[in-house]
């Protein structure tokens, strides 16, 4: 268990805990949500080559990857000027288009964005 820490409740956490006033209930809600999120990350993702990973990392480096940006990864890959050996951007874009949102989030998280 980690010691108590102060965190900023931005809009997503405020929405998640809306209507709850009890500190233990709020803490429980956040921890349950984090536990489920980590389990989703463990079970999702895509099998990508290093060239594909490099291309996605290049696309992600443009800024914050919110849900809309994550959902647009396939489009962004197609539009990207990134090129490297053994990269088929059309095949990568097709892979991203057929992936679930959870798979896309797992890829972005794994790359550190």
pLDDT tens-place string over residues 92-109: 999 999 999 999 999 999
DSSP 100: -
Same domain, 39 and 54: no
- 23 falls within a domain: yes
Same domain, 100 and 76: yes
Nearest of 14, 102, 96, 87 to residue 51 by alpha carbon: 87
Is residue 62 over pLDDT 90?
Answer: no
Nearest of 81, 42, 43 to residue 62 by alpha carbon: 81
**Domain count across the chain:** 2
Is residue 73 over pLDDT 80?
Answer: yes
- How much is the average pLDDT of 106-113? 94
Same domain, 75 and 55: yes
Same domain, 70 and 29: no
pLDDT of residue 77: 97
pLDDT of residue 95: 98
Same domain, 34 and 64: no
- 17 falls within a domain: yes
- 6 falls within a domain: no
- How much is the average pLDDT of 37-63? 95
> pLDDT averaged over the chain?
94
- 39 falls within a domain: yes
Q: How far apart are CA 82 and CA 60, in angstroms?
A: 12
pLDDT of residue 4: 78
Give me the domain span that covers residue 106: 50-110
Same domain, 38 and 81: no
Query: Tell me: the pLDDT tens digits for 16-46?
Result: 999 998 999 999 999 999 999 999 999 999 9
SS3 category, 89: helix
Exposure b/e, 87-110, CB count within 10 A at least 16 = b? bebeebbebbeebeeebbbbbbbe
Q: How far apart are CA 111 and CA 55, in angstroms?
A: 11
**Cβ contact 102:44 at 8 Å:** yes
- How much is the average pLDDT of 40-57? 97
């Amino acid at each position: 268990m980690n010691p108590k820490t102060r965190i900023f409740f931005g809009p997503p956490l405020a929405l998640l805990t809306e209507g709850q006033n009890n500190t233990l209930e709020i803490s429980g809600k956040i921890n349950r949500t984090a536990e489920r999120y980590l389990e989703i990350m463990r079970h999702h993702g895509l099998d990508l080559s290093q060239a594909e990973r490099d291309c996605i990392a290049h696309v992600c480096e443009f800024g914050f990857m919110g849900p809309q940006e994550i959902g647009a990864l396939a489009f962004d890959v197609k539009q990207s000027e990134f090129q490297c050996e053994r990269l088929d951007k059309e095949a990568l874009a097709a892979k991203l288009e057929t992936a679930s949102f959870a798979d896309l989030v797992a890829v972005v998280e794994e790359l550190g964005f």
